[in-house]
Amino acid sequence: MKIFRLSLFEVIIYIISITTLSIVIYSFVVKPKEVTIIRDTIIVSKYKCPDQTIDYLKALKQCEANGRYAAKNGSYDGGYQIGSIAKIEVGYAILNSEEGRILFREDSILQEEVMLRLLQSQIRIMRPYIQRYANTNIGNYWITTSGILAMSHLLGPDNTVRFLISRGKYKDKDGNNTDITRYLQFNNFNLPIDSITKPSYINQYLIKYLKQ
């Protein structure tokens, strides 16, 4: 019977080999899971969609009144052509007096604030329909969050809901004979509705607006 004896040097080499093998196995079997998680986190952060609310409202304002804050059209005032009922809905009934309307048309910051509060209100009302219909086709129309909110601005949430649940069969027009589907031209803006509805959002928006 042969007896194998290992020298101290051979024992050390053996231990180093086992340790190295263990590290290799850990690196290829266990470690990649951690790397994947970290990589996924980086991707989410790197490709986070930008907040395009300023661009959306600028485009909406251009369509409504050629960007003119002083615009007046019947009972509608300002760059966003906000009517008396909308002002009441967001707590600005005082701006419906003649003096209030003049003040409103002369104050661009006030108009931006009222429009943001109106946008927040529209999001709260339309959220279930945004969740259901955004990023879907209705007839020949591609529907998005910004498109739904733009239609709500033109004809109100009620008419927008009728359009959506009728699958496009119900299409109302405003007083200027503008079809509700025309405002689907605002389809391509990313509006982070969860952020917009936060109480602090209006101040953050106005700071960005003033820096432009």
| H/E run at residue 96 | none
Q: Please state whether beta strands 72-73 and 76-77 pair in parallel, antiparallel, or not at all (unpaired).
A: antiparallel
Q: Give 10-residue mean pLDDT values along the chain (212 residues).
A: 52 58 49 36 50 96 96 95 95 96 97 97 97 94 97 95 93 87 95 96 93 86
What pLDDT is attached to residue 175? 82
Residue 6, pLDDT score: 53
pTM, rounded to two decimals: 0.76
Phi and psi of 72, rounded to 5°? -135, 130
pLDDT of residue 16: 58
How far apart are the C-alpha atoms of 212 and 208, rounded to whole Å?
7
Residue 100: phi and psi, rounded to 5, are -65, -40
Output the pLDDT for position 22. Answer: 56
Phi, psi angles (nearest 5°) of residue 77: -130, 150
pLDDT digits (tens, 9 = 90+) for 39-87: 333 333 344 678 999 999 999 999 999 999 999 999 999 999 999 999 9
Per-residue confidence (pLDDT) for residue 103, from 0 to 100: 97
- pLDDT value of residue 17: 61
Catalogue the E-assigned strands of the chain: 72-73, 76-77, 136-138, 141-143
CB 190 within 8 A of CB 52: yes
Beta bridge partners of 141: 138
Q: What is the 3-state secondary structure (H, E, C) of 45-66?
A: HHCCCCCCHHHHHHHHHHHHHC
162-168: long-range pairs with CB below 8 Å, 24+: 163/138, 164/129, 164/132, 164/133, 164/138, 167/138, 167/139, 168/138, 168/139, 168/140, 168/141
CA distance from start to end of the chain = 90
